[in-house]
Chains A and B, each alone.
Chain A
């Protein structure tokens, strides 16, 4: 695989049967606590994932005991069309406060009709980890890291 392919953005999209304003609001306000909570950084399952509603705001998970773990930062908010987030988790899935090593998550809300919205998510900028060196080693070996992910994956694929 070429390094260009390795660093290619991860893209996902989904169409939801709601107006664009609603889709945007549900996304940024985490309405119904929809964020997948099976993957988290803290030791316990978070009770909430929070996006602070301002540029420069925090993006973090909060555990039931109040402990907070940062995921990244809110860079740009353009209701109801677009959100740009900085993802501060490295290849070892640990928080790295250095913006120079953050990757970007852009979410676009495209109206397809009065009550249909296409949500396009692009996670990009992986070239900043081009010399990350060894971060995976700890993550793969950790019982709650890659080992867990691979067991989950196996279960999902053989279900």
Chain B
């Protein structure tokens, strides 16, 4: 089976990134604030945020000397990640049904 494995899906596969993503769902936060809530170093948090940003899940803006992260308001990256998984599992189930013995259902 071939499918596009979406960046969003990959980005959310990591538990630390998932935790950051969920905290940003509550409200926008600075990198410092995010780092205080997870058991990884601040540079690691920045790295994780970059992955989320590249996947289209979050966006950032500069506020004075701070960088504030929030969910990407479009939410498209997240939606595509979900749909990638949804259709992949749906087509796998479809294949099983199509190839099943057909005496019962016609």
Residues of A within 8 A of B (CB): 1, 5-8, 10-18, 22-23, 26-27, 31-36, 38-39, 91-93, 119, 121, 123, 126, 129-137, 139-141, 146-147, 149-150, 153-154, 157
Contact = CB atoms under 8 A, between A and B. Distances in A.
Contacts of B83: 10, 123
Contact of B26 (A34, A141, A150): A141
Contacts of B79: 91, 126, 129, 136
Given A1-B55, A34-B97, A119-B91, A129 B76 contact: yes
Contact of A35 (B77, B93, B95): B93
Main SS class of interface, B: helix
A129 B74 contact: yes
B36 to A, nearest CB: 20
Nearest to B13: A157
Contacts of A31: 97-98, 105
Contact of A13 (B3, B56, B102): B3
B29 to A, nearest CB: 14
Interface string B13-31: 1010010011001100000
Interface residues of B, number: 50
Contacts, number: 145
B94 A136 contact: no
Contacts of A146: 22, 25, 78
Given A16-B98, A22-B102, A150-B22, 19 more contacts: A6-B80, A10-B4, A10-B6, A11-B4, A12-B3, A14-B91, A18-B98, A26-B94, A32-B96, A34-B98, A92-B75, A121-B91, A129-B76, A131-B74, A132-B73, A132-B76, A133-B73, A150-B18, A153-B12
Given A17-B99, A26-B98, A31-B97, A153 B9 contact: yes
B71 interface: yes
Contacts of A92: 75
A39 B15 CA distance: 21
Interface of B: 1-4, 6-7, 9, 12-13, 15, 18, 21-22, 25-26, 53-56, 71-80, 82-100, 102, 105
